[in-house]
Amino acid sequence: MDFELEQSKDLQAFRKEVREWIEANLPPPISTRDRRKETLQDFKNAREFHRKLGAKGWRVPWAPKEYGGLGLSIEKTLIIDEELDKVEDTIASLDDNGPGVILPPILTYGTEEQKQTWARGIIEGRQIWWQGLTEPEAGSDLASAQTRAVPDGNDWLISGNKIFQGSGYEQDMYYVLAISHPDRPRHHNFSVFCFSLHLPGVSWSPMRLIATDRNSVYMDNVRVPSSAILGQPGQGWQVTQAQLEVEHGYGGAVRPDRVVPKVLDFMREGPKKGGPIAGDAVLRDRYVDNFIGSRVGVLFQLRNLSQRLNKQFGSYEGSQNILHDKVYGVQQAARNLEITGLYGLMDDEHEAPSYGDIEAHQRGSIVFTHPAGTIEVHKVIMARRIGMSATRERAAATV
Ligand SMILES: Cc1cc2nc3c(=O)[nH]c(=O)nc-3n(C[C@H](O)[C@H](O)[C@H](O)COP(=O)(O)OP(=O)(O)OC[C@H]3O[C@@H](n4cnc5c(N)ncnc54)[C@H](O)[C@@H]3O)c2cc1C
State the closest ligand 1 atom to the C-alpha of 133, by its place in the atom list counted from 1: 11
Q: Which CATH number does the domain housing residue 180 bear?
A: 2.40.110.10
**Average model confidence (pLDDT) across the chain:** 94
Distance 330 CA to ligand 1 centre (A): 16
> Per residue in 24-46, pLDDT tens?
999 999 999 898 899 999 999 99
Same domain, 252 and 378: yes
Provide mean pLDDT across the span 373-377.
Answer: 96
Cα–Cα nearest to 372, from 171, 164, 82, 184: 164
Residue 3 has pLDDT above 60, yes or no: no
281 in the same domain as 203: no
User: Residues with Cβ within 6 A of ligand 1?
Assistant: 97, 131-134, 139-140, 162, 164-166, 209, 212, 214, 367, 370-371, 374, 376-377
- Ligand 1 pocket test target in 133, 142, 164 with most atoms within 8 Å of CB: 164
- Residue 314's pLDDT is what? 80
> Which of 237, 268, 301 is where one domain is finished?
237
CA-wise closest residue to 374 among 301, 320, 323, 336: 323
Nearest CA to ligand 1 atom 32: 140
Close Cβ partners of 267 (under 8 Å, ≥ 6 residues apart): 276, 277, 278, 283, 284, 287, 339
16 lies in the same domain as 63? yes
DSSP symbols for 234-252: T-HHHHHHHHHHHHTTSS-
CA of 376 to the centre of ligand 1 (A): 10
Amino acid 74: pLDDT:
85
| Per-residue pLDDT at 2 exceeds 60 | no
Q: What is the pLDDT of residue 4?
A: 62
**Which DSSP letter does residue 208 get?**
E
Total domain count for the chain?
Answer: 3
Q: Say yes or no: 87 and 139 in one domain.
A: no
